[in-house]
């Protein structure tokens, strides 16, 4: 009997990471989740934590990683991805994007494993090109409040591509745009969790600025499929993964209110510094190279996501209005 291939997911107790763990278990792989639980949650692993091919290791990837046995692929999702968290932990965010990335790349090199970096649309900063293509270098403030995340991801990409060029590591780089679905944290701080939590509890729905800034939301199931296709591809340069259906944040807030049948009202607050005005992926390359396009429309994805938020709020004893 052939031994199952082993995939290591750093940050696997997080939102997207836990879905990837579950996906690869379903595909017949052995999966190890590495997470320090600074933002990840063991609760996200509950549906598969007793799977015979799954293991969890409590570990911070900024410390050296020693591993016995084979590894087929290293997936790097270790990062603090929401503004609320990286504002709170800027040094940790920079460390995981630099030292953590280096440690995981060294592991992939030692094991001759494939390596997938989950980068971000934030490498484009507040873009002057719309929609954003992979050949756009971005408009990033290197010392702004968001720079701990933006620049750590830009450095991660550079380190990753040079491990490929210098050491021949089979690296893959995904630039992930806004993604949503079950296992997001209620206190994540990003637009979708904030709007849903506020609407379901009858609180004012907070829109920053005048709400004209745009985002493009991709359902987590589509994102996992895209990441898997990228991992098994031969593409070493960055690829955008996201849903190109663009919507203003005001329109999105109004959609959430309608779908939750909430009587909450929308209020406006000042726009945070360096908050991107536009965000829409050009996914031409993903379609051409991976044959990937998102399938789940925003309204359908929200219909699948709202019950999760309701259950989380009920677990917390929060009153649903």
| pLDDT tens digits, one per residue of 215-271 | 999 999 999 999 999 999 999 999 999 999 999 999 999 999 999 999 999 999 998
pLDDT band at 320 (very low <50, low <70, confident <90, very high): confident
Q: Could you report how far apart the first and last alpha carbons of the chain are, in Å?
A: 55
Q: What is the Cα gyration radius of the chain?
A: 19
Distance between CA atoms of 118 and 95, rounded to whole angstroms?
16
Which two three-digit tokens encode residue 261? 């049948």
- 304 closest CA partner among 130, 152, 182: 182
The answer, yes or no, to whether residue 199 has pLDDT greater than 70, is: yes
Is the distance from CB of 79 to CB of 104 less than 8 angstroms?
A: no
Task: Locate 74 and state its tokens.
Answer: 């290293």
Greatest Cα-to-Cα distance within the chain, rounded to the nearest angstrom: 61
CA distance 221 to 301: 9
Q: How confident is the model at residue 13 (pLDDT cuts 50, 70, 90)?
A: very high
Instruction: Give bridge partners of residue 57 from the DSSP assignment.
Output: 34
Confidence of residue 321 (pLDDT cuts 50, 70, 90): confident
Q: What is the pLDDT of residue 311?
A: 94
- As a whole number, mean pLDDT of residues 154-177 equals 98
Cis peptide bond upstream of 131, omega within 30: yes
Residue 99 burial by Cβ neighbours in a 10 Å radius (0-12, 13-18, 19+): middle
State yes or no: pLDDT of 32 exceeds 80: yes
The first and second tokens of residue 17, run together, are 């990471």
- Model confidence, pTM: 0.96
Mean pLDDT of all residues in 103-122: 98
**Mean pLDDT, residues 72-94:** 93
Give the separation between CA 91 and CA 55, rounded to whole angstroms.
Answer: 29
Lowest mean pLDDT among 88-92, 118-122, 312-316: 312-316
CB 40 within 8 A of CB 85: no
Residue 295 confidence (pLDDT) above 60: yes
Q: What is the average pLDDT value for the chain, to the nearest integer?
A: 95
Q: What would the two tokens of residue 155 be? A: 């450095």
**What confidence score (pLDDT) does residue 188 get?**
86
- Say which of 115, 124, 149, 180 is annotated catalytic: 149
- Asked if pLDDT for residue 179 goes beyond 80, the answer is yes
pLDDT of residue 1: 53
Residue 87 has pLDDT above 80, yes or no: yes
Is-catalytic flag, 136?
no
Show the 3-state SS of the chain: CCCCCEEEEECCCCHHHHHHHHHHHHCCCEEEEEECCCCCCHHHHCCCCCCCCEEEEECCCCCCCCCCCCCCEEEECCCCCCHHHHHHCHHHHHHHHHHHHHHHHHHHHHHCCEEEEEEEHHHHECCCCCCECCCCCCECCCCCCCHHHHHHHHHHHHHHHHHHHHHCCCEEEEEECCEECCCCCCCCCCHHHHHHHHHHCCCCEEEECCCCCEEECEEHHHHHHHHHHHHCCCCCCCEEECCCCEEEHHHHHHHHHHHHCCCCCEEEECCCCCCCCCCCECCHHHHHHHCCCCCCCHHHHHHHHHHHHHHHHHHCCCCCC
Residue-wise pLDDT for 274-285, tens only, equals 788 889 999 999
Q: CA 115, CA 129: separation in Å to the nearest integer? A: 29
**Structural domains of the chain ordered from first start:** 6-177+219-241 (3.40.50.720)
């Amino acid at each position: 009997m052939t031994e199952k291939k082993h995939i290591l997911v750093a940050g696997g107790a997080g939102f997207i990471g836990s879905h990837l763990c579950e996906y690869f278990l379903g595909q017949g792989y052995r999966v190890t989740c590495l997470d320090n639980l600074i933002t990840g949650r063991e609760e996200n692993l509950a549906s598969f934590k007793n799977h015979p091919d799954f293991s969890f290791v409590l570990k911070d990837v900024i410390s050296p990683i020693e591993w016995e046995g084979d590894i087929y692929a290293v997936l790097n999702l270790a990062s603090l991805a929401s503004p609320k968290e990286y504002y709170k932990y800027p040094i940790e965010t920079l460390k995981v994007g630099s030292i953590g990335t280096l440690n995981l790349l060294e592991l992939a090199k030692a094991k001759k494993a494939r390596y997938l970096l989950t980068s971000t649309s934030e490498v484009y900063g507040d873009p002057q090109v719309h929609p954003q293509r992979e050949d756009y270098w971005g408009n990033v403030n290197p010392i702004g409040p968001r720079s701990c995340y933006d620049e750590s991801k830009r450095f991660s990409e550079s380190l990753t591509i040079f491990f490929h060029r210098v050491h021949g590591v089979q690296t893959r780089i995904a630039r992930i745009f806004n993604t949503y679905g079950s296992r997001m944290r209620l206190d994540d701080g990003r637009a979708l969790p904030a709007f849903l939590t506020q609407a379901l509890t009858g609180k004012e729905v907070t829109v920053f600025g005048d709400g004209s800034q745009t985002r493009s939301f991709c359902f987590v199931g589509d994102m996992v499929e895209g990441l898997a296709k990228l991992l098994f591809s031969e593409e070493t340069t960055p690829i955008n993964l996201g849903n190109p259906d663009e919507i203003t944040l005001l329109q999105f807030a109004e959609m959430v209110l309608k779908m939750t049948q909430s009587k909450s009202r929308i209020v406006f607050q000042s726009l945070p510094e360096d908050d991107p005005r536009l965000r829409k992926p050009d996914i031409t390359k993903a379609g051409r190279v991976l044959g990937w396009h998102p399938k789940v429309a925003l309204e359908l994805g929200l219909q699948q996501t709202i019950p999760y938020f309701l259950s989380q709020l009920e677990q917390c004893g929060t009153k649903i209005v």
